[in-house]
Each structure stands twice: as structure tokens, then as C-alpha cells.
Amino acid sequence: MKSLAHTLLKSLCVGATLLGGTGAFAQSSVTLWGMLDSGITYVSNQGGGHNVKLDDGVNGPNLWGLKGIEDLGGGTKAIFELVSQFQVDNGGFMPNKSLFSRNAYVGLTNDRYGKLTLGNQYDFMTDALYFSGDDPAEISGHFYDFRAGPFTKLALPGNATGAFDWDRMAGEAVANSVKYVSPTLAGFSAGAMYQFGGVAGSVGEANGASFGLNYGTRELGANAAYTNLKYATTGTATTSVRNWGAGAHARFGDWFTNALFTTVRNSANGGALYEASVGARYNFTTAWNTGVSYMYMKGNGVVSDNHAHQMAAILEYGFSKRTSVYALAVYQRANDGASARINGMNGSNDGSTTNTQTVARVGIRTRF
């Protein structure tokens, strides 16, 4: 037993040396990070009845990840990141997901030449628009305020409701992809991504592409993105799903404002949607802040010309930079005859049986 304990202690010391980046690894580091969110949600009409439930990953997804960097000299660094999304309420993976299905990539970065990564990673609808701060959902209803609505007839391939997160802003990853992001010059940067389809005999089958253009200063930012992904199903024609969008944000004093416009088109049935949204956040103190947003969504004839108005608001108190408690609410009103559906109501019977749906929530979020 004494020998075993000594061996384990020695192994832990070696591991700490490697992670801490000492000795021969002085220019390297590996960081473990994560965030968790859970709370209680009230739904006004979920399949015809009220519902009170424990829900998680709303005010930010539940993630844990490993990211590493190694200085190779000459301004070049090797980088990697592995990110897993999970469910706090039961400890399991997300439905139909695996250990590092959120992100898994490796690559090189250089301040002069840019960054090149390969693996499973975000496209530019997420990278250029959401991470830049252009999405009003980020400062109001968060996950519940992403795009959904009365648009199940959009019928996106492999989609939980046919229109869940239809503009890919909630962090959808693209597998088998290569992505390049340029260095920033006078506030401008750009990026391009290519997804390999992996279908023998047809380079263009089930492949994809994404592009992003960014401009930013400390006070202002504007961004644009385009993504086109192809889905191959045996015995049917390849389906192409195309998204594009543009957004902007501004900071002045204790205020932060943003605006977003995004679209989607499904080539399989011609279904198409767009949304336009605006939002604002105000910091009362270093601990208290509030955010509000408004969004309008509109579909074409394939989705019955349905449309919806959506409003969201949050009040948040930060105990520290890492941990906060909050209360938020999201209200959606669709046109007469349509069934409202707020993002996250993903079961076949989770939409409202009327043209309105409301969610209200209290929760806690922490990061490490």
C-alpha cells in the first residue's frame, strides 16, 4: 500500500508539472475551464398545459473544456481545444451528442499570419455574430430567446423541431472542417471555413462552407456571416441549408446595445425565414444589470407565411465575476392560427396550443 501511494503521489506531481508549464514545458499551458447553469422554469402553455420544471443550460450552456497552447517560436503557437456540453440536471450528455461534440480542434496561430484550425468547430454564424456580441438574445433571454417560432414546416435536416435554432447562433459545430481566421488589421478581420463531405466519388457531396467578416473597436463592432451546409440522405437529393446574417453592437457608459438580422433557406422544400432583433443592457452597478430585447420573425409561404413577435428581459445579480443569480422571462406571440414555440421547447408536444407562449425562470450560473 505504501508503495502504491508513493507511485500515485509521484504521478500527480509529474502531471502537475506538465499542466503548470514548468521546466521543459515553460512555454506551454493547459487550462481546464467550464460553466454551469440551472434553475426553475415556468411554461405557460406546453402542449396545452402549464409546466414547472427544473431546466439547465439556459443562461449559457453547461460546458467543460480543455484548451492548450505551446509556443513553437517565431511568433507561432500550437493550439487545441476540447469542449463537452452536458446536462446538469441528470449529469448526462446532450441528446444525440458525444463527449467532445461541442468543439474538438487542433491548429496553429500566429499574430502576423492568423489562425488555422482543423476538427469539429463553430462556423461563422456563431463565431462572427454571436461571439462578437451582436445577438440580443445574449443580453436578455439567452437560450430561450434564440430563434425558433411557429416554423416546424421549415423541416431542417436532423433538427429537433424542424426549426430549432434555425440560424445556428446557439453554437452549432461543423464536423470535418478546416477554418482560417486572419489577423486583425485596423480593426478588420475575416475568416473562411470548408467542411469535407467525405463521400467517395463526389467531393461536393455533403460538404459545406462558411465565411465571416468583422470590424471592431472597444466601443463599436459590425459583423457579417454566411454558411451553406449540404446534407446527404441515401435515395434523395442533397439538401442545402443556407444561412446569412449581419449584426452590430455599441458600448457607451453603462449601456450596451446590439442589433441582428439573420436568415435561413432549406433547398429541399424552399422554406425560408428571416428575423430582425434589437437589444439593450444597462449596468446599474458592478453587481446589478438588466437586459431587454425585441425580435420579429417572418416565414415564406412554405411555412404558411407565419410570423411572430418575441420579447425577453433579464435581471441579474453577480455575487462575484464568476457566480450570479437571475430572473428572466420570454414572451412570444405568433399570428392567429399558428402555434407559438419558444426555443428550448423541443418535444413534439412542447409547443403552445395557442398563438402565445411565455416562460419565466429563476436560476444560478457559475464559471470556473
Q: What is the CATH number of the domain that holds 54?
A: 2.40.160.10
Has residue 116 got a pLDDT over 80? yes
Q: Mention every residue, 6+ apart, whose C-beta is less than 8 A from residue 105.
A: 80, 81, 117, 118, 119, 120, 121, 179
> What average pLDDT score do residues 287-293 get?
98
Does a structural domain hold residue 335? Answer: yes
User: Total domain count for the chain?
Assistant: 1
Bridge partners (DSSP) of residue 331 are: 311, 358
Of the candidates 243, 226, 222, the residue with the CA atom closest to the CA atom of residue 154: 243
The answer, as to whether pTM is greater than 0.85, is: yes
Q: Residues 326-349: pLDDT tens digits?
A: 999 999 999 999 999 999 999 889
Q: Residues 25-64: pLDDT tens digits?
A: 447 999 999 999 999 999 999 999 999 999 999 999 999 9
d(CA 277, CA 163) in angstroms, rounded, equals 18
CA dist list (Å): 208 to 101, 136, 221 = 18, 27, 27
Does a structural domain hold residue 261? Answer: yes
> What average pLDDT score do residues 135-162 get?
96
d(CA 209, CA 196) in angstroms, rounded, equals 9
Q: Residues 8-34: pLDDT tens digits?
A: 334 434 344 444 444 344 479 999 999
DSSP, residue by residue, 26-87: TTEEEEEEEEEEEEEEEEEEETTEEEEEEEESSSS--EEEEEEEEEEETTEEEEEEEEEEB-
Does a structural domain hold residue 2? Answer: no
Does a structural domain hold residue 100? Answer: yes
Does a structural domain hold residue 1? Answer: no
* SS3 at position 216: strand
Has residue 313 got a pLDDT over 90? yes
DSSP, residue by residue, 269-297: T--EEEEEEEEEEEESSSSEEEEEEEEEE
Does a structural domain hold residue 6? Answer: no
The vertex-271 CA angle with 267 and 277, nearest 5°, equals 120
Question: Percentage helix, strand, coil, to 5, in the chain?
Answer: 10, 50, 35
Does a structural domain hold residue 5? Answer: no
Does a structural domain hold residue 15? Answer: no
Range of the domain at 83: 27-367
